[in-house]
Amino acid sequence: MESNFKISQPGAYLDQLIRQTRNHHVQLSLMADRKANMLLTMSSIVTTLAIPALLKPELKIAAMILIVCSIFTIVFAAYSTMPSPLTDKLPIDRSSPLFNILFFGHFRHLEYDEYLSEMETIMNDPSLTYEAQVKEVYSLGMFLANRKFKLLRFAYLTFIIGLVISGITLLIFHFM
């Protein structure tokens, strides 16, 4: 395994940098999960409270909008916290720059001896060790940015838009 990633002086300061960055990503992930949980709870409560309003003609349209947007919020929030499916896709090529031995989705296709050999190679070369950790931090960050926070943003926007449109609809139909 050859790499262009070279560390001239491995040291505790680099270990701390990677550890702190990884910890930061984990904290961001936990924060996103808590926000998704909050949106799930709020949307479920709003849906439950809006259902009886469907029986009142003057509230029916506003309630329907609120319920539909709350259901979409629930879907986006739940999907943001759902683990990615581990399908039986072909394993990523170990020579690919995207291959990350620290990511279970990549190494789960390896036999134990292959995994052990890969880890031994990485652990005997400080530059490869740091590169594997940097890939891990990058992968975590990309997952947060491109999946978790993107879906969480959709959930928030759906909830807010539902509240606003429902409120406007209520005002228009109730006071006109």
pLDDT for 1: 56
- Greatest alpha-carbon pair distance for the chain in Å reads 76
Tell me, what's the pLDDT at 89?
60
Note the pLDDT of residue 73: 97
Q: Is 137 within 8 Å of 25 (Cβ atoms)?
A: yes
Whether the pLDDT of residue 91 is over 80: the answer is no
Retrieve residue 162's tokens.
């539902």
Work out the angle between the directed axes of helices 149-175 and 60-81 (0-180°, nearest 10): 170
pLDDT band at 100 (very low <50, low <70, confident <90, very high): confident
**Which residue from 137, 99, 131 is spatially nearest to 115, judged by alpha carbons?**
99
Q: pTM of the entire structure?
A: 0.80
Poorest-pLDDT segment among 58-62, 104-108, 152-156: 104-108
